A and B are shown apart, each in its own frame.
Chain A
Amino acid sequence: MSKRPWLWIVVITAVVLLLAPLASRLPDGLERVAADLGFEGRAAIVPAQEHAPMPDYSIPSLPSSYAGLSTVLAGLFGAMAVFLALKGVETLLRSKGPAGRPHRRDSRDDVRFPQGPRQGLRQP
């Protein structure tokens, strides 16, 4: 289990997604406050966001009788999108810039790159 910790998290995520149709439909904290205090109607959707692919965590092309499936699928796509986006971010965070140059040279980096900081200044 601890050899592939991410796999364990993926399993938990899948279980949580299957539970998504059971989520409460009561107004969320902010939504409730906005309704009680009378500014809920201000909520607007800018034109650029009008055609978001899965509004309200559902697949628009599925009929409403498949609401549960719709939610699970939307959640699955969303979780995959977050996973893939963060895999890209992970790669960016791991790379140390062009030609293996540390992004930020400090004493610690110099220990890890014993050839010295000048090495990185050479252009390929």
Chain B
Amino acid sequence: MITCFLEGSLEPVRDESGLCLSTTGHFISSGGERFLHIPDNFLDTKTWATAAVVSTGAIGGAVRAIRRRSEEETAKAIPMMGAMGAFIFAAQMINFPVPGGTSGHLIGAALLASTLGLAPSIIVMSVVVILQALLFQDGGLLVMGANILNMAVIAPLTAAGVYHAFLRIFPRPRAVSELASAWFSVMAAAAAASVELAVSGTIPWVVVLPAMLGWHALIGVGEAAITFSALRLIHRAGIRADREEVGQIV
């Protein structure tokens, strides 16, 4: 049974067709689907449009950063983008339970940043987010730019920044920096999603920010644990970004 909702309203609407067809030009959603990324109608036009522009710019910047480097410099990371993307996609499917009746799944920004470096991470993660929306209905189409911004731009940038900062304070073991970058990247993505929801007028930020950060503080622990274990496996294959590559912002 499909429940239909009018745009911006929580009142269910009876729809004879059972298809949630819109006659008014508004969205009518069918409830009941699960979503892991931001679905359409959670953000308003100005917010998702701005996010799309910023994400496009960031992807362009990442492409430019890679192409500016010589073939020798990118010889290690570039051929691994496909395999690492497939791995991140698969790992994102594994939802793990966290205390309190919620689940979380890996984003993988820190994992990518410390294997491929920052710029390839942005591109790999963008492709993952785009295909999740197109093939699996996971994440909206209009809000795709916002999902890319949160998980493919802000999360890898935070992961790389935190990794670099922590390496200065705790040069050894590197695991400390890996764990911290994973946790902070999840928190940054959750904070960004909260800001987008608040700016859209969907929910006040004083309500949504603590709720999102609270749950994602727990999910971030899972992210850190999975990142740490997966990196041990992946480093065995010799896939490891240099310290400079991880921290290289441009």
Contact = CB atoms under 8 A, between A and B. Distances in A.
Interface in B74-93: 74, 78-91, 93
Given A27-B102, A81-B135, A12 B36 contact: no
A28 B102 contact: yes
Nearest to B233: A12
Contacts of B84: 9
| Residue in A8, A44, A87 with the greatest tally of chain B CB atoms within 10 Å | A44
| Residue in A19, A32, A38 with the greatest tally of chain B CB atoms within 10 Å | A32
B79 A55 contact: no
Contact of B41 (A44, A90, A93): A44
Interface residues of B, number: 86
A20 B136 CA distance: 15
A30 B154 CA distance: 17
Interface residues of A, number: 70
| Residue in B8, B37, B97, B136 with the greatest tally of chain A CB atoms within 10 Å | B136
B211 A37 contact: yes
Contact of A28 (B79, B86, B104, B132): B104
Interface in A51-87: 52-57, 71, 74-75, 77-87
Contacts of B90: 13, 16-17, 20, 75, 78-79
A34 B137 CA distance: 18
A49 B29 contact: no
Interface of B: 5, 7-8, 10, 12, 27-31, 33-42, 63-64, 66-68, 70-71, 74, 78-91, 93-97, 101-105, 123-124, 127-128, 131-138, 140-142, 190, 193, 197, 202-203, 207-208, 211-212, 215-216, 219, 230, 233-234, 236-239
Interface string A88-103: 0110011010000001
Given A45-B33, A56-B136, 10 more contacts: A2-B237, A12-B230, A31-B36, A33-B211, A38-B10, A43-B39, A44-B7, A44-B39, A46-B40, A106-B68
Contacts of B70: 108-109, 112
Contact of A9 (B87, B211, B219): B87
Contacts of B30: 45
A108 B70 CA distance: 8
